[in-house]
Chains A and B, each alone.
Chain A
Amino acid sequence: MIKIEDIYKTYKMGLTEVHALNGVSIEVEEKEFVAIAGPSGSGKSTLMNIIGCLDTPTSGKYFLDGKDVSRLKEDELSEIRNKKIGFIFQGFNLLPKLTALENVELPLIYLGIRGKERHRLAMEALEGVGLGDRIRHKPSELSGGQQQRVAIARALSTKPAIILADEPTGSLDSKTGAEIMKMLKDLNQSGKTIILITHDTGIASQAARMINIYDGKVLKESGVA
């Protein structure tokens, strides 16, 4: 489903060049649960941005569902993100002025789904994360764990095949973090492909497979593919 071939990403900072990714090749099958682990600055977020179609590599190829997406234009990438990928961020990234329901509806709006159907899909996603009774709450009126569950509902609302989670437990205490991890595992059980990014090997080891990154290179892979 995801096939990355020899990807490089170079940032130019004035005269110096930062090589965030140095020839990374990864494959992720459908319905896998993969963790990408590595210390801070190793290039995890850069890799996730490319996998999530938020960014394009400097060189190398990226096949998503068999289609090369490494050279697509901004709006084409937006469409792919909207339909195929759900993001879960460390800082939740909810819109503070919108209610839980409105936040979850947002990706559906951009997908062009209207009125009743949109409401139904958003409600379904919120009920799926156990927040059916909190739909009128603003993010500031919810706990961290609840906010992250709203973010998960938002990621799920358009029913994407892939969920990308960048340090999803980073801002949470260990108990709530464990709840979120449980939720991700359940999602994987129900058939979603999950890619988890973390610096915490304890968390990463809960995934079926772990890819270690260091200095923009894949160091080693462990687990069953």
Chain B
Amino acid sequence: MTTTATRESFGKALLELGHRNPDIVVVGGDLNISTFAHLFAKEFPNRFFDLGPAEQNMMSIAAGLAASGKIPFVSTFAVFGTARPYDQIRVNIAQMKSNVKIVCTHAGLLTGEDGISAQSIEDIALMCALPGFNVVVPSDGPETESVVKLAAEISGPFYIRLSRPATDVIHQTPTNFVLGKAEELRSGSDLSIIACGIMVSASLKAATELAKEGIQATVINMSTLQPLDEKAVLSALDTGAIVTAEEHYIHGGLGSLIAQSAARQGAVPIEMVATTRYAESGKPDELLTKYGLSSSDIVDAAKRVVGRKRD
């Protein structure tokens, strides 16, 4: 499988947007090489503002830019772009419905060796707690590109969550991302695995393993977490069991959102693959394994949930 870093796809898409639309501006916080916003900065220095690591200032400034008709992309790491300036995001962006796109890289455990202060496992919960905020966790590079370009065209706030390392490419052709629409990548009748971000690839691997043992799984890429594709959840209920998989804390993320939607629309056993605690420094793969986010964890969860179904 080929790999690519979603943050790099973002940087390239942003550069392309910059050429296409003079209203695109970029706001960064001293991490612009890491977020790939430097590609835009180099080409459009007059439309790029580096505010240093001063994220509260950054978010309110972005809202001010949006109030004057600009389309600001704010880019930093996930911990610094959500938790630190949360009230600024809440009042100046969410409550004002500002046309600001927050694109954060280095989300989740994949941030690895930097340790728990840098590993954002709460950001999905935070951002989905903001009414009207579009929250998207792309599954790979090609989808990221599509999401970033679409976000520039849809008026209103976006949070787009990306990773540091290169991750599996699961879309071989350019994707046509539709906000609020889940993507079925594989179909099976025994259970549905609903995943987002890097866990989509892990889910596909898990489904292949499960098939060897005669368990057929549907795999859904739920890249939009808000607004949630409730219809996709409804059809997942038809398989009689659900596993959710996300690189995030178990509370308030994809699993919580799916469980909430499933409970409203029916009732099936659900198992959740997510982290249940803060991790530590380590290599991304080591962390995913130690903290229960590998494809074998999805396989185990699938077996458990199918077992509960038979009870």
Please determine whether chains A and B interact with each other in the same assembly.
Answer: no
